[in-house]
Every structure is written in C-alpha cells, then in structure tokens.
Chain A
Amino acid sequence: MNAVLDNFDLVLKAFGYTVFLFLVSAVISLLLGTVLAAMRVGPVSVLRMFGTGYVTLVRNTPLVMIFLFFQLGAGKIFDWLRFSWVDIQIGPFDFTSFFSAAVAALSLYTAAFICEAIRAGVNAVPLGQAEAARAIGLPFSGVMSQVVLPQAVRASVPPLASTLIALLKNTSIAGVFGVIEAVGRMKGFTNDYADQRWGIFICFALGYIILVELISAVALLLERRWKVA
C-alpha cells in the first residue's frame, strides 16, 4: 500500500490520462456512432452499405490490432496519421502523438458498438412515430433529430452505458502503446515494489471500480430523468 500512497500524485496523474482517454474517445465515438446509426437506418442505400460495412469490419477486429495499426502502420501510409502535429500541454498532462493515436483507435472501435446500441434504440421506436413525422412533412434529418433519436436514445441508455464502461476499461490497452495511464503505471509499480504486488493491484482495481460506478450512476440518472411516464 505504501507504494501507492507515497506516489499518489503519480497514481492520480495516471488515472487522469485514463479519464482523458475515456472522455475524448467517448465524445468522438458517440458522435461518429450516431452518424453511423443514422446511415444504417437511413433511406440512402450507399450509406446503409457503408454503415453496415464499417460495423462489420471494425467490430470484428480486435482492438489491439487497431492500436497496432495506428501506432505502427498508419503513419507509413499517410504521414499525418503519425499525429506528430499534436502536441498539447494542459497542466501536468501532455497530449502527444501517442495519446492521439490511442484516441483514434479507441474512438473508431467504440463507434461501431455505439452505432449498434443506438440502432437497437431506433428499432425500439414504433414505426408509426417515423411515419407520423414524415406525414407532417419533416425531412429525414428532421425525422431523426426531432422524433426518432430522442426516443431512441432513451431506449439506448443501458446498452450505451455498457459500451462506455467497456471503453473505459479498453483504455488500459494504451498502457502498452505509449501512454502511461493507470495500467501502465501499475506495471511500473509492481515492477519496482514486488513485495507490495497485491496492495498495488487492489488500489488500481479500486480506481477502475470507482470510475465505472460513476458512469453507471450517470446512466441511471439519465434513465430516470428520461423515463417516459
């Protein structure tokens, strides 16, 4: 336990990276996932095919492979995919090419799951709702944004929460791809303080449990607030 308490600033910083990875990837993947879901349920067949193709391709690829691609492959094909143009410093946190590549991998991967969660929600909205919206003259974008998605998101909250929890835990892969986040730091601690292995492990597991519980709490709050009477 001493290893964790004595270096508590490092632990906080590591979990800070975990949270940043989660937040940035969550925002990007929610946006991208919503667009993909709209494509998949939309009337344009080319976009439907693209959406289906994306989900099939990305969802069936192990996340580690996507990380590997961004860390070692992508930069050789397109130079801007090296992300060497990213160098932002906020307080003690450095957001460099490694952080960006991790965000790219996590966002693209999670977007496929978000898309499916939202699509499940869209399918849960009775067909009559979309028909009624069309009947009053709304275009597809209006049908989606005004009528279908607000209801779909409600039904999507539980699966979305699961997906986001998975995203939070998936950020740990970044630990072996250049970002010293929680698991990366934990490996450093267990290497240096071999005699306190269990204490270190429990502390970091606790950190993850707290973060996941926060997401669960927010999800529950939204579920209650958006409950249709």
Chain B
Amino acid sequence: MRFTRTKAIIATAGLALALAACGDAGDDTEAVDVEVADDAASSFEDGTRMKELADAGTINVGVKFDQPGLGFKDAASDMPTGFDVEMAKVLVASLGIDPNDTEKVKYVETISDNREPFLEDGTVDLVLASYSITDERRAVVGQAGPYLVTGQQLLVAADSDIADVADVEGEEVCSVTGSTSLDNIEAEGAKPVGFDTYSECVEKVLDGTVSAMTTDGTILAGYAAQNEGDLKVVGDEFSEERIGVGYSIDSPEMCQWIVDTITEAYDDGTYEEAFTATLGPSGVEVPELPEMDACES
C-alpha cells in the first residue's frame, strides 16, 4: 500500500510544486478519430473473450498516466492521451465499444509493478503501457505484438559533455525505480538512481544532481521538447524494447485479434495518424509497423 500512497502524494505534491510542466504535454496532442465497428459482437466466435467483451459492451484497459507521448493523463482531464492510448482505442473500437466513452471504457493506470497482477486477476482486460515483451512476462501473461520498437537513449543537460552511453560509466543516471531501463544502465556501468516518476528524474537532470536520465527514446524526446534549450537527447539507442499488448494468458485467442486489428490500423493509416498526433511533435519519425510475433494457437 505504501507505494500507492507514495504515488498519490507525489502526484499531488508534484502539481503543487509545479515540477516538470506535466500539464502541457497533453494539450498539443489531438485524439485521433477511430471508427467504431458496427455489430462487432457477431463477428467474433462464441466463447472467445472478444465476444464476451463485445457483448458486455464494457472493457478495462491498463495504460500509463505519466509518459508524455505514450500514455499520459493530466489531473484535469478524463481521457489519457498518447500513442499507447490510441492503439488501445483502435482495439476497443474493433469490439464495437466507443473508445471515448469513459463510462464504457475504463482507462486504469497501470504502473510497471502492477501490470501482470492486474492482468492475472482481471482488473484490466488489456494492457498498453509501454509494455515490453519478455520471456519472463510471457510465462505469466499473454503479450501480442510488438506494435512499436523503441530503444533506450540518454537525456542530458544541453551543455553536457556526455555524447554516448560510454560516457556515463561511474556517473549517476536516473530512471524509474524497478524499470528495465535502470537495470540496463546499471549493466553499462553507471550508478543507478531510481525515482518514482520520470518527471522527478527530469527535475534532477535540470538541477544537475544527476548527469543524465535514461529510458525509451520516444519518452525522452517528449521531455526534450518540453524543455527545449535546457535538455537534449544524445547517443544511439543501446537497447531494444519491443512494446506489445498484454492480455490474460487464459484467453490466447485474443492474440490473433490484436495482431490483425493493429495490422489493419497500420494498413488504413490510423497507425500513422496516431503516431503523428502523439509522438510526432517530439520529432520522432513514423516507423514502419514491426513484424509481429506469430501467435500460438
């Protein structure tokens, strides 16, 4: 419970202290219109989880609330924004549920720690929360995709000498406690510094306490854009994160549906539109859809 409280208090205090300009991130991103499938329930076979969800007309989706460009929700709005959220909308719409109706679609905040437990106990039906695909995770939950491949980079002060990951050996580098990024940078020889949210790390880079922060390049680009002139993203990507969709391991039939729906969204341009609207402003180019893993039947 302690960390739930920690998070809540940090969120409030973060606003009070007017830390990183969190509130600004969501404003310039426009939601993409997604067409809701008509009579979706009949298009799924009986007994599948998709059919159940389409019949019920409600769904719970786990997304991040603190990653501008991927999954972000400011305190004032009901709807989270970001590329993960747009992909979630595409999936929800294909079930015949209006993704913008927060009565029917509940966007639940999932943090790195509770994504598997939430899928296992059914708190959420889908997780799109910069959820990288790993073998360990696939042992307990289903993961379809990847729908996006990103890599880890460094965010440093604009006047920093650090140009590459080799330069941070022995330096303090910040990321979120318990994240894969923090483990990776530790393996590269840096001293890991863990905080609860990325915005606190940004603050620490800005005031010079740590030399750099690290996580997926897409997220860093968002912060660099917010703090133009003070922060910059440097170095090549030194890890590969394959971002996928999490679903319950008890419903393996969802995998093919997720892969098909996202492929369709790529083919009809929704993917590109969603990317441009969310991660585009940070200066990231629209990537090609990565080759998705085959689903086990």
Q: Which residues of A contact B42 (CB under 8 A)?
A: none
Q: Check if A173 sits within 8 Å of B6, measured CB to CB.
A: yes
Q: Which residues of B contact A208 (CB under 8 A)?
A: none
A20 shortest CB reach to chain B, Å: 15
B284 at the A/B interface (Cβ < 8 Å)? Answer: no
Query: Which residues from 83 to 97 on chain A have a C-beta closer than 8 Å to any C-beta of chain B?
Result: 84, 94, 96-97
Q: Which residues of A contact B126 (CB under 8 A)?
A: none
Q: Check if A173 sits within 8 Å of B192, measured CB to CB.
A: no
Q: Given A84-B209, A176-B6, A176-B194, A191 and B178 touching (CB < 8 A)?
A: yes
Q: Check if A172 sits within 8 Å of B2, measured CB to CB.
A: yes
A226 at the A/B interface (Cβ < 8 Å)? Answer: no
User: How big is the A interface, by class?
Assistant: 35 or more
Counting chain B CB atoms within 10 Å of each CB, which of A64, A173, A186, A189 scores highest? A64
Give the contacting residue for A194; candidates B140, B174, B179, B192; CB below 8 A.
B140
Q: Which residues of B contact A96 (CB under 8 A)?
A: 172, 191
Q: Which residues of B contact A175 (CB under 8 A)?
A: 177, 194
Q: Which residues of A contact B3 (CB under 8 A)?
A: 176
The docked-state distance in angstroms from the alpha carbon of A175 to that of B179 is 12
Q: Check if A72 sits within 8 Å of B139, measured CB to CB.
A: no
Q: Given A175-B194, A192-B180, A195-B139, A62 and B9 touching (CB < 8 A)?
A: yes
Q: Check if A82 sits within 8 Å of B209, measured CB to CB.
A: yes
Summarize A's interface: helix, strand, loop or mixed. helix
Q: Check if A184 sits within 8 Å of B178, measured CB to CB.
A: yes
From A73, which residue of chain B is reached at the shortest CB distance?
Answer: B17
B109 shortest CB reach to chain A, Å: 16
The docked-state distance in angstroms from the alpha carbon of A64 to that of B194 is 15
The docked-state distance in angstroms from the alpha carbon of A106 to that of B141 is 38
Query: Which residues from 11 to 61 on chain B have a C-beta closer than 8 Å to any C-beta of chain A?
Result: 13, 17, 19
The docked-state distance in angstroms from the alpha carbon of A94 to that of B194 is 14
A199 at the A/B interface (Cβ < 8 Å)? Answer: no
Q: Check if B116 sits within 8 Å of A197, measured CB to CB.
A: yes
- A-B CB contacts (within 8 Å), total count: 99
The docked-state distance in angstroms from the alpha carbon of A36 to that of B37 is 68
The docked-state distance in angstroms from the alpha carbon of A72 to that of B210 is 13
Q: Which residues of A contact B194 (CB under 8 A)?
A: 175-176, 178-180, 184, 187-188
A228 at the A/B interface (Cβ < 8 Å)? Answer: no
Q: Check if A75 sits within 8 Å of B178, measured CB to CB.
A: no
Q: Check if B134 sits within 8 Å of A194, measured CB to CB.
A: yes
Q: Check if A187 sits within 8 Å of B113, measured CB to CB.
A: yes
Q: Which residues of A contact B13 (CB under 8 A)?
A: 65, 68
Q: Check if A195 sits within 8 Å of B136, measured CB to CB.
A: yes
Question: Chain A interface: which of B195-203, B218-226, B228-236?
Answer: B195-203
Q: Which residues of A contact B19 (CB under 8 A)?
A: 72
B112 at the A/B interface (Cβ < 8 Å)? Answer: yes
Q: Given A176-B194, A191-B179, A194-B134, A68 and B207 touching (CB < 8 A)?
A: no
Q: Which residues of B contact A196 (CB under 8 A)?
A: 136
B183 at the A/B interface (Cβ < 8 Å)? Answer: yes
Q: Check if B193 sits within 8 Å of A98, measured CB to CB.
A: yes
A55 shortest CB reach to chain B, Å: 22
Q: Check if A188 sits within 8 Å of B177, measured CB to CB.
A: yes
The docked-state distance in angstroms from the alpha carbon of A82 to that of B19 is 17
A12 shortest CB reach to chain B, Å: 15
Could you show 24 A-B contacts with beta carbons less than 8 Å apart? Answer: A65-B9, A72-B17, A72-B203, A75-B207, A75-B209, A84-B209, A96-B172, A97-B209, A173-B6, A176-B3, A176-B10, A178-B193, A178-B194, A179-B194, A187-B177, A187-B178, A188-B177, A188-B183, A191-B179, A192-B134, A192-B180, A194-B134, A194-B140, A195-B136
The 8 nearest A-B residue pairs measured at CB:
A187-B178, A195-B139, A176-B196, A178-B193, A194-B137, A194-B116, A188-B178, A191-B178
Which B residues form the contact surface with A (CB < 8 A)?
Answer: 2-3, 5-6, 9-10, 13, 17, 19, 112-113, 116-117, 134, 136-137, 139-141, 172, 174, 177-180, 182-183, 191-196, 200, 203-204, 207-209
* Apart from A68-B10, A195-B140, 18 more pairs, CB < 8 Å: A72-B200, A176-B177, A178-B194, A178-B195, A184-B194, A187-B112, A187-B194, A188-B182, A189-B178, A190-B113, A191-B112, A191-B180, A192-B134, A194-B116, A194-B136, A194-B141, A195-B136, A196-B136
Which A residues form the contact surface with B (CB < 8 A)?
Answer: 62, 64-65, 68, 71-73, 75-76, 82, 84, 94, 96-98, 172-173, 175-180, 184, 186-197
